Amino acid sequence: MKDKDSGIDYGIAILRLMWNSHPWLTIGTAISGVISGFAGIAMIDTINEAIQHADKRQHLFLVFIALVTSSLIFRNSAALLPAYAARQIITSLRIALCKKILATPLKELDRRGTPNVLAFLINDIPQLADTLLKLPTILVESTIVIFSLIYLGMLSLPALAWTLAVIVGGIYLFGFFVRRCIYYSRKFRDEFNIYNAYTHGLLLGIKELKLNSDRRRWFRRAAIDLSTKRVANYNFIERFWYMGAESTSQISYFVLIGILVFWAPSFHSLDTRTLTACVLAIIYLMEPLGILVSTVPDLGKGAIACERLAEFGLSITDKNLAAMSDNHATEKKLSRQRYWKSIELRNVGVSFDAVDSSREFKLGPINIRLHPGELIFVIGGNGSGKSTLAKALTGLYPPSEGQILLDDRPVDDAHHLEIYRNLFSAIFTEFHIFDRLIQSKGANGKDAILPTELLTKLGLEEKIQIDGNKLSTTTALSTGQRKRLALVCAYLEDRPIVILDEWAADQDPSFKAFFYNVLLPELKNQGKCVIAITHDDHYFNVADRLVKLEDGRIVELR
């Protein structure tokens, strides 16, 4: 019952979303639908008149042509007007979803995993778009059904009673099939998430799969084949129940015609003229009923998409949705804090667990104080919490306990957290390089250093060209070269604190020495606090301080 109620709630919410965003288009659609429905019924009445009165056919033919033309024009208008609105609504939803992803804490995004978040963009939003495009059809066809029933009642109340009885019985049977259809639609959506994760692994791990036939065989059979078959099975079962639901309208149609033609005249006084008109009305009625039936599974899928988006925190019932998707809203430019005296992590703890993992990792409690002009190496074994510490230090993983203090003042609200984060440039082990350079201005308002000089300094002048602020490539490079390019971007950002997570791991020996002996001291001498996560014990002497982690705790600080 809960699923049914939530589906109805989301259906109403989708209609309200259309009304709130484009009220005049919705009114225009309703008017067009009413005119189309009225013209359709008038057309049936004209046909009935032409059958009964042969002498009026020439005149009625002209009326018939006018009614057909009116019905088609207004029916198509009722479909096209909301299609324009739906396009704008979906654009707004996509923008709102992207903004929601930007506003979601990194820890929550990491917990969900990239494939699950991508599913919102590539599955749920398009499904919601399909549902929105069905709304005009539902409105128009519902109008035609209502007018058809009114017309049928004007012809014969017994015929209307039989029609309503068959429709109610059909709806009951239809509801049984649709509930099963929506259940398997939900199963299909969940399994498709798993399939997305496997295809994500397929693309990222293609080299490993090509090199190892055993792994490839396992991946193909246990992952891709099994998941693909489950997706196909759930989709087939969904279609099976959908076909059952769709067939109820056809069965109802034939049952109703059979009752009116073969049975009802025995109990009710239906003359041939009235019976003919009733049959024509029912024939006309069954097409919009069939169309309405065919849209119900899509409405169910739309409700499932709404559920998934709501689980992520983006509800189409949210009154702030329009503000979130406002293209004209500009992100407030923060005043950069270039000067600072200290950063302290006081009893900071961070808990983290992946959505598909039963094991929780806990960092902390961490107590450490940082100052400008320091070069700090963070060391420790794999899984000791070094990268988690870096994310906690930058404010990307807000503390679940303890507090971060900037110049002895707590970073305790979103505004101060945003200012605090802007102190950092970071290159994590998993990083992305945007093709547009963002360069900080120097004290005189001019660029402090030319990007081309940095490319030469880091040995990339022959690999990358810069056109304005756009890089010629960010992918046609080795991992070590991509890390160098990321360092170029960090130089240009010119933030007072730089975090480098195992940056030197993919560099050749000569450039690794250049990194530790030249680049890091150079950044330090510029007054920056540099935190380098490293395993290179040959260069530990370069650091001012060493911070060693084990099982999420600092065990050595020197």
pLDDT above 70 (res 448): no
What pLDDT, on the 0 to 100 scale, is given for residue 10?
Answer: 54
**400 contacts: CB under 8 Å, gap ≥ 6:** 349, 350, 351
**Short-list 297, 287, 317, 303, CA closest to 96:** 317
Residue 412 domain flag: yes
Q: Band of the pLDDT at 357, cuts 50, 70, 90?
A: low
Query: What is the predicted pLDDT for the residue at 445?
Result: 47
Element (H, E) at 140: helix 125-155
Number of domains in the chain: 2
Q: What is the pLDDT of residues 241-300, one digit of tens each?
A: 888 887 887 788 888 888 888 876 666 666 777 787 888 888 888 888 878 877 877 777
49 contacts 81 by C-beta, under 8 angstroms: no
Residue 476: is its pLDDT beyond 80?
no
Confidence of residue 323 (pLDDT cuts 50, 70, 90): low
Residue in this structure with the two tokens 């299909």, named with its chain if needed: 188
Residue scoring higher pLDDT (482 or 333): 482
* Distance in angstroms (rounded) separating the CA atoms of residues 154 and 110: 63
**Cα separation, 420 vs 334, whole angstroms:** 11
Q: End-to-end alpha-carbon separation of the chain, Å?
A: 62
> Could you tell me if residue 334 is inside a domain?
no
Residue 488, pLDDT > 80, answer: yes
Calculate mean pLDDT across residues 538-542. Answer: 92
Total Cβ atoms within 10 A of residue 27: 12
pLDDT surpasses 60 at 159: yes
Domain assignment present for 288: yes
Q: Are 455 and 488 in contact (CB under 8 A)?
A: yes
Q: What is the CATH number of the domain that holds 153?
A: 1.20.1560.10
Least confident of 55-59, 241-245, 390-394: 55-59
Q: What is the pLDDT of residues 73-132, one digit of tens each?
A: 887 777 776 677 777 778 888 888 888 888 888 888 888 877 788 888 888 888 887 887
> What local confidence, expressed as pLDDT, does residue 369 receive?
93
Domain boundary among 287, 321, 355: 321
Nearest to 124 by CA among 224, 21, 226, 14: 14
Collapsing DSSP to helix, strand or coil, 346 comes out as strand
Alpha helices in 332-478 (DSSP H): 386-393, 414-421, 451-457
Tell me what pLDDT residue 349 has: 92
Other CB atoms within 10 A of residue 515 CB: 23
User: What is the Cα 207 distance to its own chain's centre?
Assistant: 29
The answer, yes or no, to whether the previous bond of 365 is cis (omega within 30 of 0) is yes
Q: Indicate if the pLDDT at residue 356 is higher than 70.
A: no
Q: What is the pLDDT of residue 41?
A: 78
Tell whether the model's pLDDT for residue 138 goes beyond 90.
no
Q: Report which secondary-structure segment, H or E, holds 529.
A: strand 529-533
pLDDT surpassing 90 at residue 496:
yes
pLDDT of residue 2: 46
pLDDT at residue 371, rounded to an integer = 94
- pLDDT on residue 1: 44
Please check whether residues 430 and 364 belong to one and the same domain: yes
DSSP assignment of 435-459, as one string?
A: SB----B-TTSSBSS-HHHHHHHTT
Which pLDDT score is estimated for 444? Answer: 42
Average pLDDT (143-149) is 83
d(CA 287, CA 140): 12
pLDDT of residue 300: 76
**Maximal CA-CA distance, the chain:** 109
Position 14 scores a pLDDT of 65
Q: How confident is the model at residue 353 (pLDDT cuts 50, 70, 90)?
A: low
Q: What's the domain range around 162?
A: 2-321
Q: What is the overall mean pLDDT for the chain?
A: 81
Instruction: State the pLDDT confidence band at 136, using cuts at 50, 70 and 90.
Output: confident
Sign of CA pseudo-dihedral 88, 90, 96, 99: negative
Measured CA to CA, the distance from residue 395 to residue 420 in angstroms comes to: 8
Predicted local confidence at residue 535, as pLDDT: 92
354 and 247 part of one domain: no
Say if residue 278 is in the same domain as residue 350: no
92 shares its domain with 32: yes
- Residue 149's contacts (CB-CB under 8 Å, 6 or more residues apart) are 160, 163, 164, 285
Residue type for position 465: Q
Q: What is the pLDDT of residue 268?
A: 64
One domain, residues 297 and 370: no
Same domain, 400 and 472: yes
Among the ranges given (58-67, 149-158, 285-294), the one the predictor scored with the smallest mean pLDDT: 285-294
- Give the SS3 label for residue 464: coil
Of residues 405, 428, 429, the one with CA closest to residue 416: 405
pLDDT, greater one: 369 or 206: 369
- Residue ending a domain, among 275, 291, 321, is 321
CATH number at residue 483: 3.40.50.300
Highest mean pLDDT among 81-90, 439-448, 513-522: 513-522
Q: Lowest-pLDDT range, 5-14, 62-71, 251-260, 360-369? A: 5-14
* Domain final residue pick, 254, 287, 321: 321
Dihedral over Cα of 120, 121, 125, 130: its sign: negative
10-19, 278-287, 413-422, 512-521: which has the minimum mean pLDDT? 10-19
pLDDT of 15: 67
Q: Is 259 found in the same domain as 125? A: yes
The 3 state secondary structure assigned to 187-221 is HHHHHHHHHHHHHHHHHHCHHHHHHCHHHHHHHHH
Amino acid at 47: I
Do 295 and 386 reside in the same domain of the chain?
A: no
Q: What is the identity of the amino acid at 442? A: G
Q: Is 507 helix (H, G, I), strand (E, B) or coil?
A: coil
According to DSSP, the residues that pair with 368 across neighbouring strands are: 345
Q: Are residues 109 and 257 in the same domain?
A: yes
Residues 302, 405 share a domain: no
Does 331 map to a domain? no
User: What is the residue whose two structure tokens read 């971007």?
Assistant: 489
Residue 522 to residues 166, 373, 423, 525: CA-CA distances in angstroms? 84, 10, 18, 5
Q: Letter for the amino acid at 240?
A: F
Which two tokens mark 181? 């259809």
Please check whether residue 338 lies inside any domain of the structure. no
Vertex 95: Cα angle to 12 and 3 (nearest 5): 30
User: In this structure, are 298 and 362 located in the same domain?
Assistant: no
Rounded to an integer, what distance in angstroms lies between the CA atom of residue 109 and that of residue 120? Answer: 12
Residue at 219 is within a domain: yes
Could you tell me the two tokens for 102? 């930007």
Residues whose CB is less than 8 angstroms from the CB of residue 105 and which lie 6 or more positions away in sequence, other chains included? 396, 397, 398
Question: 21-49 pLDDT, tens per residue?
Answer: 677 777 777 788 788 878 877 887 788 77
Least confident of 310-314, 326-330, 345-349: 326-330
In a domain, residue 332? The reply is no
DSSP 8-state assignment for residue 421 = H
Structure confidence at residue 325 (pLDDT): 53
The CA distance from 417 to 454, in Å, is 30
Per-residue pLDDT, averaged over 141-145, amounts to 82
Helix axis angle, 272-311 to 226-258, nearest 10°: 160
Residues 305 and 383 in one domain: no
Residues 6 or more apart in contact with residue 1 via CB below 8 angstroms: none
Residue 373 belongs to some domain of the structure: yes
Sheet with 401-406: list strands edge to edge. 361-370, 343-352, 401-406, 409-410
Collapsing DSSP to helix, strand or coil, 532 comes out as strand
